[in-house]
Amino acid sequence: MLDIKFVRENPEIVKENIKKKFQDSKLPLVDEVIELDAKNRAAQQEADNLRASKNKLSKEIGALMAQGKKEEAEKVKAEVTKNAERLSELEKINADLKDKILKIMYTIPQMLDETVPIGKDDSENVEIQKYGDPVVPEFEIPYHTEIMESFNGIDLDAARRVAGNGFYYLMGDIARLHSAVLAYARDFMIDRGFTYVIPPFMIHGNVVEGVMSFPEMDAMMYKIEGEDLYLIGTSEHSMIGRFIDQQVPEAQLPITLTSYSPCFRKEKGAHGIEERGVYRIHQFEKQEMIVVCKPEESKKWYDKLWQNTVDLFRSLDIPVRTLECCSGDLADLKCKSCDVEAWSPRQKKYFEVGSCSNLGDAQARRLHIRIKGEDGNYLAHTLNNTVVAPPRMLIAFLENNLNADGSVSIPKVLQPYMGGKEVLIPNK
């Protein structure tokens, strides 16, 4: 969310930013919110004047009563009563205007970083760099659920009977591999100086509104009926929410955290939810990384975060590439974002396995997260990035480590988490 003062002083810059995101329908909102802001400030000024007048008139009444001028004092009292009624009106006007202003400000997108490429949607995202050599083996690679089934490692039919489409049972070596990848990712991030956290898996509505845009909220979040609670779509939500209404001492920065959680998503409007695979599902687990830092340090941390994901995937012998997200592919709260994509030998193309985002001060402004500095308080910058998100990550792992005989090689770094196993042998 932008600062209303910035919008008021830079309306054309804000409009140009909206155009870059191909959201021209929002252009009238800039003038509308500036007009509402002017009315709000005028009402606020009048209210402040009435409050000041009340103190002055109260003293005047006292002086008149002391002089025995009761009739004149009553006239002043009547004026005070009239002013009080007007003040009550103004307070209601201010509250209504503030609600309208906030609603509009929540929909005006964050200012893009100057390096973000301009494009309408994800088809115009820009490849930055490839890491590792993508290989297509001479043998045919089965669909990922077929690989899992060869180890008796997945049961989608039972999951449909229990919960419907978009869910799964993982079993045996595949379930163990799932847990091993998460444990390895946890220790990988701890070794890089991040503090491990297990957060709440449900959050209040005001936290949801603080961490994401309304379209994202509608498409993703499951609400607990009858309660002000939502299931998290990613641990970023509760991790950033941890700092709501807080003043963080500057000396504690940067705050670097890595969190584990299950994630729950409606995947509203998503394609492929009815498919047999586990690429897009309603429930999965993820290791995330979160940073709260000074504004001038967020660009540096952005580069560190996506590099962590690249390094982790390469340590598991999985080729990856990074893609710069174009303006039209960025959620409204993001200043800059890139995707990490893993190589799929079966599809002979890359697919998304993680996303790194710099949200600037957008979440901090919504959640009132301030840094207590020596020269005054200021808004923090927040960033997040996926470490690993199985089972999607398992698709890349199984395809890239599959052997011609159907076995799956376990990279050395993961072997301690798999009881020392160097290879998984299929049951079928």
Stated pTM of the model: 0.90
Residue 108 dihedral angles phi and psi, to the nearest 5°: -80, 125
pLDDT tens for each residue of 311-358: 999 999 999 999 999 999 999 999 999 999 999 999 999 999 999 999
For 370-388, letters b (16+ CB in 10 Å) and e give: bbeeeeeeebbbbbbbbbb
**Angle (CA) 401 405 409, round 5°:** 25
pLDDT of residue 70: 76
Residue 288 dihedral angles phi and psi, to the nearest 5°: -120, 160
> The domain 122-424 is classified under which CATH number: 3.40.50.10490, 2.40.40.20, 3.30.930.10, 3.20.20.70?
3.30.930.10
- Cα(288)–Cα(256) distance, integer angstroms: 11
pLDDT of residue 118: 98
pLDDT of residue 290: 98
Domain boundaries defined on the chain: 4-105, 122-424
CATH class entry, domain 4-105 = mainly alpha
Nearest Cα to Cα of residue 243 among 333, 363, 369: 369
182 neighbors 418 (Cβ within 8 angstroms): no
pLDDT of residue 203: 97
Residues (pLDDT < 70) of the chain are 55, 59, 64, 268-276
pLDDT tens for each residue of 253-303: 999 999 999 999 997 655 544 456 888 899 999 999 999 999 999 999 999
- Cα(270)–Cα(185) distance, integer angstroms: 27
pLDDT of residue 297: 97
- Cα(384)–Cα(187) distance, integer angstroms: 18
280 neighbors 267 (Cβ within 8 angstroms): yes
